[in-house]
Amino acid sequence: MLGCVTRLRRLVRLLPLQTSLLLLFLFCTVSVFISAYFLYGVKRELEPSGGGVSGAEGASADSDDPRATPSRLLPLRGVSGGPGVEPGGARTDPVVLVFVESQYSQLGQEIVAILESGRFKYRTEISPGKGDMPTLTDKDRGRFTLVIYENILKYVNLDAWNRELLDKYCVEYGVGIIGFFKANENSLLSAQLKGFPLFLHSNLGLKDCTVNPKSPLLFITRSGQPLPGPLPGDDWTVFQSNHSTYEPVLLAKTQSAESIASMGQNAALLPSVVQDLGLHDGIQRVLFGNNLVFWLHKLVFVDAVAFLTGKRLSLSLERYILVDVDDIFVGKEGTRMKVPDVKALLETQRELRTHVPNFTFNLGFSGKFFHAGSDEEDLGDDLLLSFVKEFWWFPHMWSHMQPHLFHNQSVLAEQMLLNKKFAMEHGIPTNMGYAVAPHHSGVYPVHIQLYDAWKKVWGIKVTSTEEYPHLKPARFRRGFIHSGISVLPRQTCGLFTHTIFYKDYPGSPNELDKLINGGELFQTVLLNPISIFMTHLSNYGNDRLGLYTFKSLVMFLQTWTNLKMQTLPPVQLAHKYFSLFPSERDPLWQDPCEDKRHKDIWSKEKTCDRFPKLLVIGPQKTGTTALYLFLGMHPDLTSNYPSKETFEEIQFFNGHNYHRGIDWYMEYFPLPSNTSSDYYFEKSANYFDSEVAAQRAAALLPKAKIITILINPADRAYSWYQHQRAHDDPVALKYSFHDVITAGHNAPVRLRVLQNRCLVPGWYAIHLDRWLNFYHSSQLLVLDGQMLKTEPAAIMDKIQKYLSLVNVINYHKILAFDPKKGFWCQLLEGGKTKCLGKSKGRRYPDMDPEVISSCPLQSQTFLREYYRDHNIELSKLLYKMGQPLPSWLREELVHTR
């Protein structure tokens, strides 16, 4: 072998230079042909035909085969449920990062609305042309699972640093990108997308849209027949590429007969939405050639979010639909059902059951109005009752009165008993466990007399309303459970008591059809797993718009989606709803006076003036009880009535009392007088570090002022420990303070609980920041607890100014220091003082009574180090709020240097 190599070398040396160059040229030529064969021959045999977004040889005119066979997908890394999921599970938080053009851009708002409807978490940022990208990672975890650009050009034209940063993040964490391109008068008619093998052809009018049946993106979206007719607008963009990374999702024809020159005559179907499979640069994307005005874009957008997040942010295919027909027997003469209408109702129900298993109209009745129509309508009433077992039934009020007008539960119950008697006489079932109040009165805001009467007379377990938390926007409607009754969100469907005739539909009949065919009604079902629709008796007589609407809706949903629709009785529906959304079980009480609709269906005997305007939130063991006493001395300030269970504290927002409702809360405050200086306040010291109190308080008392008192967290921790010892807590009696605060993770549970109550409330910055998430910093006053102890009059002057009280009191004249007690007390006539009880102002032994020379002040040293970072963060937060640092905090910061 070695000899052959030696001879070859000699032969090469003997060859002339020209011959050597010729051989080298021949070798290069053969290499090129071999490479071309493998790249363009073998590759096409390995990949499905038509894998790229078609250009001149791309999309076929045959809508059944638009040459869109999916190519190989780049695995999604680090996405739960994705093909490339890592053993450790998802590496990103389930949050969407949305880059918008401005806070008020229409497309940005539509994107956010869909995310909110799906209950997906998101964060919006103004698209940076240049400048800092938001922080994308937290340690080794990604903060976002999907990135959406309202304007894809803002992504394409990012400065090199930010573009590289974002692309590396997307590749490393398997994060996809959704982008939109909306052409305008300044857009080039044809241009290449910077940095991508993709061409854009803009400002086109399109028609006859079709869904690529082989797109890997599709989940809810069903491909089928083309959507005939023009697409909205003439500013569409279509995509062209011969790279196999691009697959069409939606395709359409141009409205004019002219073809796009660079795409050739054969490009009858042009891609208006494309999916980038990630074969070009490792990042999967979905690009839209317009905004979300076109309803099919909304549908594909929902699927894009699901696909690019590996179904982490995805809605299931199951949809539960319940159609309530309110006001049975209530309608005016001329609007009620006649015999043919009742037959049509039953026939439509049977027809819909072939598409929606168990579909049953749910009829709400008020018996007082039975046989209150014309002779033909009365015959309709009789026929309806002859089919009583064919439908589901639920009660309204007997006389259709609004329940919030009844202040006596017994009177409400009498009305319900009349309706129940009517039901029993006519064979109407009384055990469905569901009821709806006329005009949703008394359901929310809660009229507790209604809930109690419902349970007593009907055994009601479920109701529904469109009012929680507010009527609009509808996507925010939620459910809750109160007093043992599940309250489900109710949806409107474009039909009201006055919409009787198709030709007279407000705005034109076309408006109703648009609601059904991709509009708001369609989107309600698309984005809500459970939909309870409100309709009325009058919608089923005359032109029978109710029947037309739901037959058309079901047909449209079956044509364009893979949704699996079914119906459940209300009680089962409630179980399903709260199994899907368990976090909604607890209500979030709102201020009824902040919403005119709520105020109109709230008892006139109730007033929002009874709510407090000031909350003293703690934390515990910082002097809140003393402040409560001092505030109560002011003539303009009125405290709550004491509680038998918790003394001067109501403890409403942080615990089980919250579920008793706002009526219970208001009972702790007196009825307001006619004077304008009424200023109610309450003090509950465990609000401060509660995880739920801030949000609950802000929902009910959005304009309230908040006061917190801060002392050295080490002193607060020790005071709480001594407080527990004074109340004979066996754990505090068994363990020393140092043992409690230094207990490890393996310590007994009860010891860890005491440790948490000693230490956690002292994380002041964390708890303050939570309150600042719901209240403006100007609504929150931080007091120096040490100064309250030594100079209370000065603190009270500060509070009076902060509250803008009408009367200003000189607290120097009404407070006196009691040397026996060791703290300030109320000064009475004759020089006597009124002080807090024996449990307040105790003198405790030193925190470290036995100082060991080798380990001096061990508890204080431990706590100073433990709270070091917390105190630094607190100083930053107070500086940001524009509030002075307490004296104890300044001293602690000195020790950290």
| Residue numbers annotated as active site | 621
Helix or strand run (H / E) with residue 252: strand 246-254
C-alpha count within 13 angstroms, C-beta hemisphere, residue 171? 11
Q: How far is CA 794 from the centre of its chain?
A: 44
Tell me: cis bond preceding 469? Omega within 30 of 0 counts.
yes
Strand pairing of 705-710 and 614-616? Answer: parallel
User: How far apart (Å, rounded) are the C-alpha atoms in residues 842 and 821?
Assistant: 8
DSSP letter at 654 equals T
Tell me the three state secondary structure of residue 365.
Answer: strand
Q: How far is CA 41 from the centre of its chain?
A: 51
CB 494 within 8 A of CB 521: yes
Strand pairing of 227-230 and 190-192? Answer: unpaired
User: How far apart (Å, rounded) are the C-alpha atoms in residues 846 and 856?
Assistant: 13
CB 841 within 8 A of CB 821: yes
Biggest CA-to-CA distance, the chain: 129
User: How far apart (Å, rounded) are the C-alpha atoms in residues 581 and 407?
Assistant: 33
Task: Identify which of 326, 540, 360, 345 has the alpha carbon closest to the alpha carbon of residue 435.
Answer: 326
Tell me the three state secondary structure of residue 570.
Answer: helix
Tokens, residue 539: 């919608």
**Tokens 């903060």 belong to residue:** 143
Helix or strand run (H / E) with residue 818: strand 815-818
Q: Alpha helix (H) ranges present in 121-258?
A: 152-156, 160-173
Task: Identify which of 844, 442, 792, 822 has the alpha carbon closest to the alpha carbon of residue 628.
Answer: 792
Those residues with Cβ within 8 angstroms of residue 99's Cβ, 6 or more apart along the chain or in another chain? 124, 125, 126, 127, 128, 147, 148, 149, 150, 151, 154, 155
Tokens, residue 367: 């018996």
Q: Which residues of 851-877 are buried (b: 16+ CB within 10 A; e: fewer)?
A: eeeeeeebbbeebbebbeebbebbbeb
Exposed / middle / buried, residue 146 (Cβ in 10 Å: 0-12, 13-18, 19+): buried
Task: Identify which of 660, 717, 730, 665 has the alpha carbon closest to the alpha carbon of residue 689.
Answer: 717
- Crossing angle, helix 520-527 and helix 295-308, to 10 degrees? 20
Tell me the three state secondary structure of residue 180.
Answer: strand
* DSSP, residue by residue, 387-417: TGGGSEEEE--TT---GGG---HHHHHHHHH
